[in-house]
Structure 1
Amino acid sequence: MLTGVILAGGKDRRMQGNPKALLPFGPEKLIQRQLRLMQPVCSELIVVTNDPKPFLRLLEPEIRIITDFVPNQGPLGGMHAGLSLARNRDVWLVGNHMPFISSQAAELLQERKHEGFDAALPLVQGGIYPLHGIYDRSCADLIWSLLQGGEPTLNRFLKVLYWGELHETIFQENGIGSGFIESFSRQEEYERLLRQYDASFCDLEKFDSSDINHHGRL
């Protein structure tokens, strides 16, 4: 069983204050699209946000909407809340800036995690993508210690987390393109990915990310 968590916090200053999760992407809002893509492999879906009101009006009642336990701590604050309240042991964490997330990739990452790791992360084009990873629910305790110690950064988290990578060749062997890790943080990047979506009709296997810059990797 898998819990899907979308981190939908942040002030989105570089998007003129427009929440990424509520931007249109094709015929639906981006958050609706992400939840739809996660649903086939997730028995539980959670949205972590600092402002629940827009999501309460938009999402189905079975979607759990929660807020950070400790506000203003960046992605780790949202990750801590999602992991802490997940009902399943395996948790698929994604950022709300990733339109092309892949449930097939998540299943492969879950298999990798079960080889004895606390988390499994994709290694694609030389970068690690912690916001498309599978985590053990117990990672919440590790994040809490970082929050309490004043070190709430993803880089620090990865240094103390026991994680295993899954190389992009494994995804390719399973017919999964690298587009699932694409993300945006600025208006022009959003518009570029939206154009790419329109051109490909969102067929991820046909999605060609070779001309798009990567902004979500570490």
Structure 2
Amino acid sequence: MRAPVGVILAGGQARRMGGGDKGRLPLGGVPILTRVIARLEPQVAGLALNANGDPDRFDDLGLDVLPDSVADHPGPLAGVLAGLDWAAEQGADHIVTAAADTPFFPCDLVPMLQLAAERAGAPIALAATMEGTRQVRHPVFGLWPVALREDLRLAIAAGTRKVVIWTGRHGAVEAVFPVERFDPFFNVNTPDDLARAHSFLDAP
């Protein structure tokens, strides 16, 4: 499998954080989004940002900014579709997505997703962790084939909004990542979450 391109999903409206770009919030003096870029960029062949609104506010990042092509903020699948369309223009076969508000995701995200897909012969792989005996999926973190972009476009147009519903139709598999001090896919949705993220930085 060729190296995929990466797409950071920042198309949400951040209502629980009071609006704005959550990825711009400082965490240990560094914007969360900068931390996300630093983790994903070395793992992929190219990188873009899915975000809506004025793209000029991200000029400092030097990334292509991909708005949703579907109106009314239908959720992360719209960001995945925008990423797949961009990847097709780049001549890429796959994208790997990551959330813009998740600063601690694994530095081996991409190879682990690729390995899970290859072992199962599956087109899509999603990240997961274990909570005791229960497997928890993190479907915003996934490996997606460009070949399914038209299928996804039709599914969104037909009203599909939940990632796991569409991925389930295509036999998606999970790449299970270890949990050590905290879940590596912990994301910052609220001011309390941001405080917890700072505590994770401060812990030994």
Q: TM-score, normalised by structure 2?
A: 0.85
In structure 2, the partner of 1:64 is 64
CA contact (8 A) 2:51 2:65 kept: yes
The more displaced of 44-53 and 190-199 is 190-199
Instruction: Rate the CA distance shift 1:198–1:138 in 2: closer, same or farther, 3 A.
Output: farther
In structure 2, the partner of 1:154 is 163
Code of the residue aligned with 1:179 in structure 2: it is D
What's the offset of the Cα at 1:47? 0.1
What's the offset of the Cα at 1:93? 0.6
4+ residue stretches of structure 1 with deviation over 6 A? none
In structure 2, the partner of 1:96 is 100
- Quick one: distance in 2 between partners of 1:30 and 1:64? 18
- Quick one: distance in 2 between partners of 1:109 and 1:53? 32
What's the offset of the Cα at 1:161? 2.5
| Higher RCO (CA 8 Å, separation ≥ 6 residues) | 2
Q: TM-score, normalised by structure 1?
A: 0.80
Q: Residue 166 of structure 1 is aligned with which of 151, 161, 175? A: 175
- Quick one: distance in 2 between partners of 1:5 and 1:17? 21
- Quick one: distance in 1 between partners of 2:148 and 2:198? 34
Code of the residue aligned with 1:54 in structure 2: it is R
CA contact (8 A) 1:90 1:110 kept: no
What's the offset of the Cα at 1:74? 1.2
- Quick one: distance in 1 between partners of 2:35 and 2:185? 15
What's the offset of the Cα at 1:103? 2.8
- Quick one: distance in 2 between partners of 1:162 and 1:188? 36
In structure 2, the partner of 1:186 is 190
Code of the residue aligned with 2:123 in structure 1: it is D
What's the offset of the Cα at 1:180? 2.2
Structure 2 unmatched ranges of 5 or more: none
SS in 1 for 2:128: strand
CA RMSD of aligned residues (A): 2.0
What's the offset of the Cα at 1:113? 1.6
Q: 1:29-178 counterparts in 2 under 5 A?
A: 29-51=31-53, 52-56=55-59, 58-60=60-62, 63-71=63-71, 72-86=73-87, 87=90, 88-115=92-119, 116-125=121-130, 126-168=135-177, 171=178
The more displaced of 7-16 and 101-110 is 101-110
CA contact (8 A) 1:124 1:178 kept: no
- Quick one: distance in 2 between partners of 1:139 and 1:7? 18
What's the offset of the Cα at 1:156? 2.1
Q: Deviations over 1:153-196 (max 9, x none)?
A: 2232233122112234xx58xxx876322112211112211221
In structure 2, the partner of 1:203 is none
SS in 1 for 2:13: coil
SS in 1 for 2:97: strand
